[in-house]
Structure 1
Amino acid sequence: MGNPLPVSAQVLRDRGVDLPLDDITAFLLARVSDAVRAHVPWQEDAKRLLEATVAAGIPCALVTMSYTRLADAFLAAVPDAFAVVVTGDRVARGKPDPEAYLTAARELGVDITRCVAVEDSPAGVGSAWSSGAKTVGVRRLVPIEPRADLSRVRSLEGWSVKTLSEVAGGRVVDDLGDEI
């Protein structure tokens, strides 16, 4: 859920997988890459918003803690969607550290405070929010805790480029209220 692969490998090792961490990471990469190449597991609302954003000519970055091999499998399905891709094997400190988002903004040539990041994991939200990007936390599988100026939604259904522009301008959307 947004963690760097070595962290996920360590969790599996701690839960009984009796392999070296590098072997666990390699297995995860191979297995998931093959699955993604066969079928990209889209969140349809996110896919529609990405397509609209790209069609509007807004440069997008993919910031993922997956390694390049896995990201490449995903990117094959959307080869022109992202102007910049920052993967977990390109940064020294993974999410929730802001390094990946700051790298993406620098490579896009934009001020991070003018960026809108959409995330669905606590580590990703922490990374984006700490970077200074306007952050939208989508509650998919795990709770998204409230933070100052953090938008939190159940889905991106009904979101448009206009909504993203409003968030970029400072609007905060919180559909979750007191819910964590």
Structure 2
Amino acid sequence: MTSRLPAAVLWDMDGTLVDTEPYWMAAESPLVESFGGTWTKEQALQMVGLGLEDAARLLQGEGVRMDVTAIVQHLTDEVLGSLARDGVPFRPGARALLRGLKNAGVKTALVTMSMRRMAQTVVDLIDFDAFDVIVAGDDVTRPKPYPDPYLQASELLGVAPREVVAIEDSPNGLRSAVASGAVTLGVPLMVSLTGTGAHALWPTLDGRGVADLADLYTAHRPEGSA
């Protein structure tokens, strides 16, 4: 069987393209503690892949007496500060695979529940024109695990969801991608992706290339896809 490239590859950001999850966790704990609460690693892991408004409500439940918008803005500012101080920690193999896709003429989108200003900051620090489209948390009505973010990205790229590969690191993100009809690839970082419905789980993107994604897409693309 001859492998075919997908029409597009849609990337999650936090934990998939860049390893910023520790930055988020480092922002959450002091916030909860400033209101007299405690924040464990287990609680922090429950936030991985959540929309920021949903995450803010969980923090409210732990005693953070701020409105949802204020919590989202505070966490975003803190993580942006970490990025400015410490740089953007790209996950192994992610930048090389992204560049390979662009060189092959494959459309790309960044699909993240972080705010657009954070997504744009990360994209601006990539040394090539990496993404055709950004869909951020403040661009969608319903966040992951709803399919809306991936459906919106596909529509903006002018491709059918069944013609794309989505790459994710969280259960919520994978549920969103699966529900959209995309071929889904899980690359776990902090939480297990077993049982999420992903078409494939790779331990890392390091050493993976465009041909590997083409093989994945060809093996799992829905009937009738290009």
Partner Cα separation in structure 2 for residue 149 and residue 86 of structure 1: 21
Superposed CA deviations along residues 132-178 of structure 1, whole A, max 9, x for unmatched, are 11000111100102355621121112211001111111259xxxxxx
The TM-score normalised by the length of structure 2 is 0.71
The question of 1:4 aligning with 2:15 is answered no
- For 2:135, the equivalent position in structure 1 comes to 86
Match of 2:151 in 1: 102
Runs of 4+ in 1 over 4 A off after TM superposition: none
Contact in 2 for aligned 1:139/1:154 (Cα 8 Å)? yes
Separation of aligned partners in 1, 2:81 and 2:107: 28
| 1:176 paired residue number | none
Looking at structure 2, the residues matched to 147 and 22 of structure 1 have their Cα atoms a distance apart, in angstroms, of 30
Task: Give the Cα–Cα distance (whole angstroms) in 2 for the partners of residues 82 and 49 of structure 1.
Answer: 12
Shift of 1:3: 1.1
| Residues 1:32 and 2:75 are matched in the alignment | no
Q: Say whether 1:116 aligns with 2:165.
A: yes
Q: Is the aligned partner of 1:19 residue 2:66?
A: yes
Query: Which amino acid is the alignment partner of residue 69 of structure 2?
Result: D
Deviates more, 1:63-72 or 1:43-52: 43-52
Structure 1 residue 33, shift from structure 2 partner = 2.0
TM-score by length of 1: 0.89
Give yes or no for the alignment of 1:41 onto 2:77: no
Structure 2's unaligned 5+ residue stretches are 1-47, 222-226
User: Which structure has the larger Rg over C-alpha atoms?
Assistant: 2
Q: Is the 8 A contact 2:145 2:175 kept in 1?
A: yes
Q: Give yes or no for the alignment of 1:139 onto 2:177.
A: no
Q: CA RMSD in A?
A: 1.7
* Alpha-carbon contact 1:37-1:73 (below 8 Å) kept: no
Aligned residue in 1 for 2:3: none
Task: Identify the residue that residue 65 of structure 1 maps to in structure 2.
Answer: 113
Q: Which residue of 2 aligns with 1:51?
A: 99
In 1, the alpha carbon distance for the partners of 2:141 and 2:84 equals 27
> Using the alignment, how far apart are the partners of 2:196 and 2:78 within structure 1?
35
Q: Quote how far apart the aligned CAs of 1:8 are.
A: 1.2
Q: Secondary structure at the match of 1:140?
A: coil
Q: Identify unmatched segments of 5+ residues in structure 1.
A: 173-180
SS in 1 for 2:93: helix
Deviations 1:18-48 (A, max 9, x none): 2222211110111112322441121022222
Take 2:151 and 2:219, find their aligned partners in 1: how far apart are those partners? 19
What count of residue pairs does the alignment treat as equivalent?
172
Shift of 1:103: 0.7
